[in-house]
């Protein structure tokens, strides 16, 4: 398995290995299905040190005692979300957007407490202080939560989709973890209320 010196598994390696080294072909598909083919080919062709993104290997055993329920670990450093099914029967890796600053990043243990298809969005008080032009947005193509939202036990922290695909792989959120809409729709079906979550 190819790693860079910081212990990251390069996206190039994940693609070349087809995800087999990480236990499931779904990894490579999840990580790249929404990236244009030309860009995928460029990632594979480029030396690892020039990758546009690199994923760290994460082991659930370092963070949880058991996999007795669905488990998510969002790694804000490598901008990736790791998914494990109950008892490790399936593992997937998704590229994400992460909070813009450390001050906006809440780390630790939480869980999914509710889910919503076609979420609406209301700016928080702190968002309105920074930008008074923000306003309530119903479900639709302009909604910053995309097509699916999974709400965490921390108020105003959500794992959700985004219509703005430029945000993925970047520090671009106000505290949430964002995914491509197509990927959050798949993940949504895999994660029941009660899914255990850790944000790194």
User: Per the structure block, which two tokens stand in for 39?
Assistant: 């860009």
| Upper half-sphere CA count for residue 69 (Cβ side, 13 Å) | 11
Give me the DSSP letters along 152-199: ESSTT-EEEEES-GGGTTSEEESS-EEEEHHHHHHHHHH--TT-EEEE
d(CA 164, CA 106): 23
User: Per the structure block, which two tokens stand in for 61?
Assistant: 């055993």
Please confirm, yes or no, whether 176 is among the known catalytic residues: yes
Which residue among the candidates 8, 82, 160, 191 is catalytic per the annotation? Answer: 160
d(CA 82, CA 84): 7
Please confirm, yes or no, whether 23 is among the known catalytic residues: no
The helix/strand/coil state of 61 is: helix
Looking at the annotation, which residues are catalytic? 160, 176
């Amino acid at each position: 398995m190819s790693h860079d010196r910081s212990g990251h598994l390069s996206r190039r390696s994940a693609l070349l290995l087809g995800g087999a080294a990480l236990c499931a072909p779904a990894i490579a598909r999840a990580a790249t299905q929404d990236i244009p083919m030309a860009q995928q080919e460029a990632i594979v062709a480029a030396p690892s040190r020039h990758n546009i993104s690199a994923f760290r290997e994460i082991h659930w055993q370092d963070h949880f005692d058991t996999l007795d329920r669905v488990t998510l670990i969002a790694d804000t450093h490598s901008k990736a979300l790791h998914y494990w099914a109950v008892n490790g029967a399936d593992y997937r890796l998704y590229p994400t957007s992460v909070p813009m600053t450390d001050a906006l990043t809440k780390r630790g243990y939480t869980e999914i407490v509710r889910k919503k298809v076609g979420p609406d969005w209301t700016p928080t008080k702190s968002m309105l202080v920074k930008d008074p032009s923000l306003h309530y947005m119903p479900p639709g193509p302009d909604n910053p939560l995309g097509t699916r939202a999974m709400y965490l036990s921390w108020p105003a922290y959500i794992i959700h989709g985004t219509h703005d695909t430029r945000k993925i792989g970047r520090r671009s959120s106000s505290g949430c973890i964002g995914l491509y809409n197509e990927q959050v729709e798949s993940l949504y079906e895999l994660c029941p209320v009660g899914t255990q979550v850790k944000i790194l």
